[in-house]
Amino acid sequence: MDLNKLTNEIIEGRRLTSKDHLEFLKNVSLESLSAEADRLRKHFSGDTVDLCSIISGKSGRCTEDCKYCAQSAFNHTGCDVYDLLDYDTIYEKASSDMAEGVNRFAIVNSGWGPTDEEFEKLIDIYTRLSKALPISLCASLGFLTTEQFQRLYAAGVRRYHNNIETSRRFFPDICTTHLFEDKLENIRRAQSAGLVVCSGGIIGMGETMDDRIDMALTLSELGIRSIPINVLIPIRNTPLENLPILSEEEILRTVSIFKFINPEADIRLAAGRRLISGNGEAAYKSGASAAITGNMLTTTGSTIKNDTALLKNIGRLN
């Protein structure tokens, strides 16, 4: 496979699909794959990096049985447990992160979805945030109705986060309390309400590279424009606690593959970034054009200050 030629074809409008023979992505030289993915990044995403941060608005007691998650009630991890935070606490975090250079801010809640009372509080919080701060607002609140998505949009939210986590084939090995199709339907409801959807998943949960390629193809079919890639950091007392850590080479190959299949999307570095040397520097040269950052995120292994310093050093932040 002539990667340089393929990159040119993608720039000119070609898109890889499930009908293409994609085996070469697993075996081609990583150096060549990363270099061409970076060329796609430069063409479609430019030299800036989109930074978003989150706050855990509600933590613990999740009714879903996702095997990787510290907040699942099925996994006795001793995680923080608290109800929905108040407006002032959330405003302080959003304001502080914005001052440090973050472009987007999201409230992330545990659970299937908010109760009616919680949702009304969230609408009030987002409405006030949208009036108080010039920062793009995102939400990650689980499964919502079309009407709830419409109300979020009216409150100032412009992006909704809902990971599909992995491939359709592998999903039942990770979660049994909801279906892969439930995820897809939720994404479509959010899109129908005018929201841009941020959706990706976790690698290193025991899936194959074929599963990752299939996940990337599903996201392409959905028209996703922001794809967070989390690398599993096994958490004690979860069913995945004894899985081996992915190698840096495998992480970088995955990042590059996702860019080839989703060239117009921001490939967003998320949890597990500390497994990449230089706090993810190599990934920014392998197709990544965005990151989840924040001083409260232990799974990224970074802070806003560290991230912005790195990005300035490599010429990706003015």
Which helix H or strand E contains 62, and what residues bound it? Answer: none
Per-residue pLDDT, 71: 79
DSSP alpha helix (H) spans, 28-145: 30-45, 87-99, 116-132
Q: Which of 148-152, 210-214, 273-277 has the lowest mean pLDDT?
A: 273-277
Per-residue pLDDT, 318: 67
> What is the share, in percent, of the chain residues with pLDDT greater than 90?
81
Q: Does the pLDDT at position 297 exceed 50?
A: no
CATH of 30-313, one of 3.90.226.10, 3.20.20.70, 3.40.50.300, 3.40.50.720: 3.20.20.70
144 token code pair: 């919502």
Collapsed DSSP state (helix, strand, coil) of residue 106: strand
Count of Cβ atoms closer than 10 Å to residue 144 Cβ: 21
pTM of the model: 0.94
Indicate the residue type of 9.
E
Per-residue pLDDT, 301: 54
Q: Are 48 and 317 in contact (CB under 8 A)?
A: yes
Domain spans in the chain, listed from the N-terminal domain onward: 30-313
Taking the C-alpha atoms of residue 73 and residue 78, their distance in angstroms, rounded to an integer, is: 10
Name residues whose C-beta falls within 8 Å of residue 207's C-beta, 6 or more positions apart in sequence: 166, 167, 170
The backbone region for 187, taken as left when phi is positive above 0, alpha when psi lies in -120 to 50, beta otherwise, is alpha
